[in-house]
């Protein structure tokens, strides 16, 4: 049975602790060295982690604590839950990890734009746009049925929703939880564009280690972004703003965890990223960077655990993880409707009622997400699978799904 540190760094990298390990130079050599290259494939533990993060977000956005606070005349339950729940920050850390997987070496000298369009833009953006369309259709139905319903969005706001730039124009989102997806797509486009430019420059120079050097350059940038982003997290924010700078530390931390796990970055980057996020949480008084730091540790442990058999509860979570992106896209349509129904039915504002409503919102959210996955996301993935391309030299492998 390996310890978590052995799982992260590889048991072969931790021989018996000889006395010479205590020497400062050799400790530094070990810490700043790299783990044995590790071929990462789809791992059930990571799917289980994705499901756990997704369900935490569903719980936070589905309004039961708000209903309990409003119905009982006090908002303390909602305020406490909203402050201390794990949330989107953890989702972004996981997304950064998958970004590292997406840009892994495939042994070919070209960067397949078509492969990128398939794996990120088509795979994620088409279901996202379908969810945005559904949100606006529901708004139109409500505006038709309810006199004086909230005013219509501007044309610029609608276009911004589809182009992932809503925060840049200060327009309200079709569904508020979509802000994180706009941030995610912005990061994916910017990071992948930079990756392609750096990689192309190494290829033009005839460097045989073009991909490894490109990854090293972006990992060095990610270290800087974690440090800078950790500082940004400690600053007060209010009003309309660009959301990416205050969330880039989470994405960069996920990227660094992936590179450390597969041996493309030094072992030290994981404790560095975790330490910065933890310090940002302490300095800002917010637990959310601390939760993201914990997710970074769990990602590293889960990735190095490989294909270890999952216990039954984790297997259930891993199944839910398959549908996590669709659940995230659709969960915003559920919560408010459930507790408004509870108000209409005159449900008592008790803890037992809140627990029942919470179970109902989670069940409906997961069910709606599963339906959306089969009706939209899975069809997009199956119908637009790219054939083997001469430009890329390879067919896309079985990448972990989701953000």
- Quick check: is 394 in a domain? no
- Quick check: is 361 in a domain? yes
Q: What pLDDT sits at residue 286?
A: 87
- Quick check: is 267 in a domain? yes
Task: Return the bridge partners of 266, or none.
Answer: 34
- Quick check: is 188 in a domain? yes
The number of C-alpha atoms within 13 Å of 211 and in the hemisphere containing its C-beta is 12
* DSSP summary character for residue 122: I
Q: Nearest CA to 154 among 136, 142, 141?
A: 136
- Quick check: is 352 in a domain? yes
Quick one: 64 exposed, middle or buried, by C-beta within 10 A (0-12, 13-18, 19+)? buried
Averaged over successive runs of 10 residues, the pLDDT of the chain (403 residues) comes to 48 47 54 63 75 83 62 58 77 91 74 65 86 90 77 84 86 80 90 89 88 92 95 78 89 94 87 95 91 92 71 81 91 76 75 77 89 89 54 37 40
Report the predicted TM-score, pTM, of the whole model to 2 decimal places: 0.81
Q: Which residues have C-beta within 8 Å of that of residue 222, sequence separation ≥ 6?
A: 252, 253, 255, 256, 259, 269
- Quick check: is 277 in a domain? yes
Q: Nearest CA to 64 among 390, 374, 343?
A: 343
The structural domain count of the chain equals: 1
Instruction: Print the domain residue range for 136.
Output: 45-104+111-383
- Quick check: is 40 in a domain? no
- Quick check: is 14 in a domain? no
In the chain, DSSP finds a helix count (H) and a strand count (E) of 20, 0
């Amino acid at each position: 049975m390996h310890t978590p540190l052995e799982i992260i760094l590889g048991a072969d990298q931790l021989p018996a602790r000889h006395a010479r390990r205590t020497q400062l130079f050799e400790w530094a050599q070990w810490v700043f060295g790299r783990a044995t290259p590790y071929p990462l494939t789809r791992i059930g533990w990571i799917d289980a982690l994705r499901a756990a993060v997704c369900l935490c977000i569903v719980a936070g956005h589905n309004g039961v604590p708000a209903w309990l606070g409003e119905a009982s005349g006090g908002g303390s339950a909602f305020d406490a839950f909203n402050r201390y729940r794990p949330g989107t920050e953890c989702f972004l850390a996981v997304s950064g990890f998958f970004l590292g997987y997406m840009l892994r070496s495939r042994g070919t000298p070209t960067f397949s734009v078509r492969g990128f369009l398939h794996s990120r833009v088509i795979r994620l953006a088409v279901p996202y746009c379908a969810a945005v369309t559904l949100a606006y259709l529901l708004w139109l139905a409500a505006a038709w049925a309810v006199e004086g319903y909230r005013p219509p969005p501007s044309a610029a706001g609608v276009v911004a929703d589809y182009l992932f730039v809503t925060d840049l124009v200060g327009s309200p989102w079709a569904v508020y939880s979509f802000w994180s997806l706009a941030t995610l797509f912005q990061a994916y486009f910017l990071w992948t564009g930079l990756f392609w430019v750096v990689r192309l420059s190494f290829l033009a120079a005839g460097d045989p280690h073009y991909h490894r050097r490109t990854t090293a350059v972006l990992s060095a940038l990610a270290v800087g972004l974690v440090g800078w982003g950790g500082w940004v997290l400690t600053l007060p924010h209010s009003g309309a703003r660009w959301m990416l700078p205050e969330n880039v530390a989470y994405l960069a931390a996920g990227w660094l965890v992936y590179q450390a796990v597969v041996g493309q970055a030094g072992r030290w980057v994981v404790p560095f990223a975790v330490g910065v996020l933890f310090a940002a949480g302490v300095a800002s008084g917010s637990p959310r960077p601390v939760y993201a730091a914990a997710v970074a540790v769990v990602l590293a442990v889960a990735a190095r655990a490989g294909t270890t058999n999952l216990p039954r509860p984790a297997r259930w979570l891993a199944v839910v993880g398959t549908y996590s992106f669709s659940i995230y896209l659709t969960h915003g349509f559920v919560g408010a409707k459930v507790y408004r129904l509870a108000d209409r039915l005159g449900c008592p504002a008790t803890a037992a009622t809140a627990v029942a409503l919470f179970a109902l919102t989670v069940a409906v959210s997961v069910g709606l997400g599963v339906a959306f996955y089969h009706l939209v996301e899975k069809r997009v993935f199956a119908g637009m699978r790219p054939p083997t391309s001469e430009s890329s030299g390879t067919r896309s492998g079985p990448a972990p799904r989701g953000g």
